[in-house]
Amino acid sequence: MGFLDNSSTTVDAILTLKGRQLLSEGKGLGIVKFALSDEEIDYTLFDVTHPNGTDSYGSVIENMNLLEASPNRETFNSFLVDQSVSGLTLNVGQLSLSALVSEDPIAISPNTKNGPVEDYVFTISNRNVIRFQSTPLAKTKTAREVNLIAQSISSSATATVRIVGVQTGLTAIISVQVNADPGSSNSPDAPDDPSSGNGGTGSYT
């Protein structure tokens, strides 16, 4: 990761390997959503004692170096949201689960603190590692809460569950690490395609 010249307005974007593959095949990217984060900004540098007055309070922040784009921003914990949801927070419990083994259950029951009762969109990054218990072929599910199950995999791996409030747009990401199953031949790096036969062998109910 490097820094960008912030002397002018810059939009920096890079493609993932999947995006490059689609372009090489002459296909469109089909981008329908994007997320903004302010995680690199240190707001403690806002100086209300600046001798040049209010116009200069944020001068240090405005002149900070900008980070280059990254193809993997799943570890971001803060996202810019509409002012209408200011003061609301999305509680999901633990943001990191580790040392799970094959068929371990994972229950996720989010709630929007100080906000409306809403459903959430849950998206799994790798179904070879974890799957929805009731709909194992689905990668995305909209519900109030979900139950997942750890898969049997040949080497330890980590997947993420992205949670987005349907009404508020508030976002949280849970990291789930599953240990290797010595008797498994299912690679966590196999194509994430249920029709290929790859993925875990856990039971579903």
pLDDT in tens, 40-68: 777 778 888 888 888 888 888 878 777 76
Average pLDDT along the chain, 205 residues, taken 10 residues at a time: 61 76 84 71 82 87 73 59 75 94 97 93 96 96 98 96 92 95 94 56 36
SS3 for 119? coil
CA distances from 43 to 40, 47, 73, 159, 168 (A): 9, 9, 21, 31, 24
- Fold exhibited by the domain 83-196: Immunoglobulin-like (2.60.40)
**In the predicted model, what is the mean pLDDT of the chain?**
83
Where do the domains of the chain lie? 1-80, 83-196
